[in-house]
């Protein structure tokens, strides 16, 4: 046997003892022969990649056909080996798997192409789910070796991984793959946020581990006394999941990280419930935090009992109780089916999903991709559908329907049938009439009333509250049939209204290149398409206005003439001599000089002078975005040089980016005060992903002091980046 294959075969023997090792070795030999002259970006022989993908799949316990297809998955695309030859050598099943994976790789990832690729992936998945399992393992190994790619490629692949591949792994229940993909992509896309969370985790780890050990010992002791055989262990913390919980639950890092997670593995379903009773006998459960996913499994076949109890020292402890088989399936998802084929809903011998199995979601996806003509819209629906939790509700006849969390009776109506959705006029939940925008909860029984009128149709207002991709798509399809002109007019009016509300100059913003450039950035072919999108509710008018203002340099730039976007250094009522700005224009100290507000230059920066109308000389940094436009009037440019005196004071603007938490702003302002800087203005915005972005403008006499200020702010807990920005007022 080839010694290179020994680690792979050791794994295969442990996870899939009946696998045909000779077939796997033959697949390796063919792949190694055809890839013999190829190298990866890292310089390693190319065959190391298919071998690594096959090893990942072997750890999941997949069958020998999948392992052969993994070893051969790049041969047809990258070598002279044809699909017909492969089918002749290895049979139709392995040939179809390789063909499925090749088709996914053939379409290059761009925006529209990406959506089309995902659509093809869905079709391939529906034929044989193993195509996707190979693709996920392929992506995982590529993410592990991503450092050899150029930066833009790394970011693009990482974003795809976070938005598409990790959620798909979650949908298929493959949590080990999902967690690693998320952490690798998170570290690649947001290295500073990742490092900050890693630093905060490592600082608290020793204290937390002691507490965890105490809880494990108590739970193990109780279960031994109750004569329940169990393995009790702590749950690993994944950095991306900590970050996601900070966003989803809107709580600080400490509250999430201090929440201890325990996993209890037992032999049978009966033992799961017995263990739950034993644990609740010792510690009080937190009301509303018990979930029985054994009686009602999740969409991805996940089964467990979840409970939260008040443990030692009054600290909450999260527990998951499950059998060993459930644990295997929770870790490996669909891939675990090959190990537990006898269980209900497992694929048949070909690996295809049986009708009525747990993979109904795939069939729903297949229906979507047939219904949705626009690949971008399909991709949006898929992204949304992958990212949400679910609630389970009942039809009046007792059929269970899974809907996104926060779903309404309208979502339920569209889940039953498109026509039921279109004609929906009212709903009864648990026997009581409710408004159509009511949120449905787990276990609700929903009954829909429909209109008999031939003109019945959805309301545009429904788009404001529906949660499911299916309902959103169906409502949009209905309205896109109406006249486009109406939508364009409505959109134009909505944007104008949003601008007037903010008191922005309508003429300047709605004419010229800015609006067309924004339309193209948002992937609309022209301005009319952008107006129509606003009119149809695809994008909010307020969002368009914000992006428009940001694209031309903030509200100040929108309101003021560029040449005069400057701030006199005569601040806070203090009189200054002409030299107070610390700049001399054309060698003449008597010329009135002002440091511009749009880029706040300080000594050491390259500077350019511009003669303004009646306001002296405005001084900009050489790299200021406005300088390009100023250069179109060379006769008004003037030579300027630094000449700071003891009484010169300069404006500096810095931006602080941090993981949001209580008292963050007070910590930053206190640190700035400790550094003896005089804060003139501060603004804070917190994005939906729990990142607080603060901008501070302050006066400073000696610009060399700035390095110490930045270093001090960077050391604050949660701050992952701080830097000088070119704009005090933006």
- Residues assigned a catalytic role: 77-78
Q: 224: Cβ–Cβ under 8 A, 6 or more apart, which residues?
A: none
Pairing relationship of beta strands 607-611 and 593-596 according to DSSP bridges: unpaired
Helix %, strand %, coil % of the chain (to 5) = 50, 15, 30
- CA dist 148 and 146 (Å) reads 5
Give the helix/strand (H/E) hosting 167. Answer: helix 166-171
Residues in the chain, how many?
A: 730
Query: What contacts 24+ positions apart, CB below 8 Å, involve 292-296?
Result: 294/269, 294/322, 294/326, 296/392, 296/400
Distance from the Cα of residue 315 to its chain's centroid: 30
Beta bridge partners of 693: 657, 685
Q: 116: Cβ–Cβ under 8 A, 6 or more apart, which residues?
A: 107, 375
Q: Are 437 and 401 in contact (CB under 8 A)?
A: no
Tokens of residue 115, six digits: 């959506």
Residue in the block written with tokens 């809903």: 345
DSSP letter at 337 equals G
Q: Are 414 and 421 in contact (CB under 8 A)?
A: yes
Distance from the Cα of residue 337 to its chain's centroid: 28
Q: 468: Cβ–Cβ under 8 A, 6 or more apart, which residues?
A: 385, 403, 404, 407, 411, 414, 415
Q: Are 90 and 24 in contact (CB under 8 A)?
A: no
Q: Are 67 and 24 in contact (CB under 8 A)?
A: yes
Distance from the Cα of residue 478 to its chain's centroid: 30
Q: Are 97 and 65 in contact (CB under 8 A)?
A: yes
Q: 3-state SS of 642-687?
A: ECCCCCCCEEEEEEEEEECCCCHHHHHHHHHHHCCCEEEEEEEEEC
**Quick one: CA dihedral 126, 130, 135, 139, positive or negative?**
positive
- CA dist 113 and 144 (Å) reads 24
Q: Please state, as a whole number, how many other Cβ atoms lie within 10 Å of the Cβ of residue 293.
A: 17
Give φ, ψ of 421 to 5 degrees.
-65, -50
Give φ, ψ of 570 to 5 degrees.
-80, 85
Residue in the block written with tokens 């297809």: 69
């Amino acid at each position: 046997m080839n010694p290179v294959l020994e680690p792979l075969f050791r794994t295969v023997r442990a996870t899939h003892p009946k696998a045909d090792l000779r077939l796997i070795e033959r697949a390796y030999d063919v792949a190694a022969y055809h890839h013999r002259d190829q190298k990866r970006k890292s310089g390693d022989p190319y065959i190391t990649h298919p071998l690594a993908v096959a090893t990942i799949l072997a750890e999941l316990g997949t069958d020998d056909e999948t392992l052969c297809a993994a070893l051969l998955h790049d041969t047809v695309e990258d070598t002279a080996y044809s699909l017909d030859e492969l089918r002749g050598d290895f049979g139709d099943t392995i040939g179809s798997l390789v063909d499925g994976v090749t088709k996914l790789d053939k379409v290059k990832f761009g925006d529209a192409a990406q959506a089309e690729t995902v659509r093809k992936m869905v079709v391939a998945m529906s034929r044989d789910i193993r195509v996707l399992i190979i693709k996920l393992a392929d992506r995982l190994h590529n993410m592990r070796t991503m450092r050899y790619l150029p930066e833009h490629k790394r970011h693009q692949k990482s974003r795809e991984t976070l938005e598409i591949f990790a959620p798909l792994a979650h949908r298929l229940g493959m949590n080990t793959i999902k967690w690693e993909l998320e952490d690798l992509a998170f570290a690649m896309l947001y290295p500073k946020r990742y490092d900050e969370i890693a630093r905060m985790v490592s600082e608290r780890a020793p204290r937390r581990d002691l507490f965890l050990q105490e809880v494990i010992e108590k739970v193990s002791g109780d279960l031994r006394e109750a004569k329940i055989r169990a393995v009790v262990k702590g749950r690993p913390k994944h950095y991306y999941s900590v970050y996601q919980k900070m966003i989803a639950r809107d709580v600080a890092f400490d509250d999430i990280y201090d929440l201890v997670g325990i996993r209890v593995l037992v032999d049978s379903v009966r033992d799961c419930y017995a263990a739950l009773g034993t644990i609740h006998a010792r510690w009080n459960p937190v009301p509303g935090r018990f979930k029985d996913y054994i009686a009602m499994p999740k969409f991805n076949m996940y089964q467990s009992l979840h409970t939260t109890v008040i443990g030692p020292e009054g600290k909450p402890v999260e527990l998951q109780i499950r059998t060993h088989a459930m644990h295997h399936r929770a870790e490996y998802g669909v891939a675990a089916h090959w190990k537990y084929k006898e269980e209900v809903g497992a694929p048949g011998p070909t690996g295809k999903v049986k009708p009525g199995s747990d993979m109904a979601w795939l069939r729903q996806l297949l229906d979507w991709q047939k219904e949705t003509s626009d690949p971008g819209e399909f991709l949006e629906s898929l992204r949304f559908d992958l990212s949400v939790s679910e609630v389970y509700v009942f039809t009046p006849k007792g059929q269970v329907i899974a809907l996104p969390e926060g779903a309404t009776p309208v979502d339920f109506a569209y889940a039953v049938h498109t026509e039921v959705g279109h004609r929906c006029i009212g709903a009864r939940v648990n026997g009581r009439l409710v408004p159509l925008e009511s949120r449905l909860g787990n276990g609700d029984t929903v009954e829909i009333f429909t209109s008999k009128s031939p003109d019945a149709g959805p309301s545009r207002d429904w788009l404001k509250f529906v949660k499911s991709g299916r309902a959103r798509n169906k409502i949009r399809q209905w309205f896109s049939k109406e006249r486009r002109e109406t939508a364009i007019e409505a959109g134009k009016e909505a944007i104008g209204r949003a601008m007037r509300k903010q008191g922005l100059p309508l003429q300047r913003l709605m004419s010229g290149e800015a609006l067309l450039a924004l339309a193209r950035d948002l992937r609309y072919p022209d301005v009319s398409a952008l107006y129509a999108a606003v009119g149809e509710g695809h994008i909010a008018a307020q969002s368009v206005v914000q992006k428009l203002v940001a694209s031309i340099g903030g509200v100040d730039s929108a309101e003021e003439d560029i040449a005069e976007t400057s701030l006199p250094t005569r601040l806070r009522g203090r009189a200054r001599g002409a030299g107070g700005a610390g700049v001399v224009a054309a060698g003449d100290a008597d010329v009135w000089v002002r440091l511009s507000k749009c880029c706040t230059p300080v000594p050491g920066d390259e500077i350019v002078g511009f003669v303004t109308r009646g306001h002296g000389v405005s001084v900009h940094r050489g790299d200021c975005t406005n300088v390009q436009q100023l250069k179109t009037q060379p006769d008004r440019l003037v030579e300027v040089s630094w000449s700071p005196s003891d009484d010169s004071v300069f404006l500096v603007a810095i931006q602080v980016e941090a993981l949001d938490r209580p008292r963050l702003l007070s910590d930053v302002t206190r640190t700035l005060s400790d550094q003896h800087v005089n804060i003139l203005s501060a603004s804070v915005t917190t994005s939906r992903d729990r990142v607080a972005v603060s901008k501070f403008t302050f006066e400073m006499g000696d610009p060399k002091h700035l390095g110490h200020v930045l270093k001090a702010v960077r050391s604050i807990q949660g701050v992952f980046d701080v830097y000088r920005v070119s704009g005090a007022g933006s």
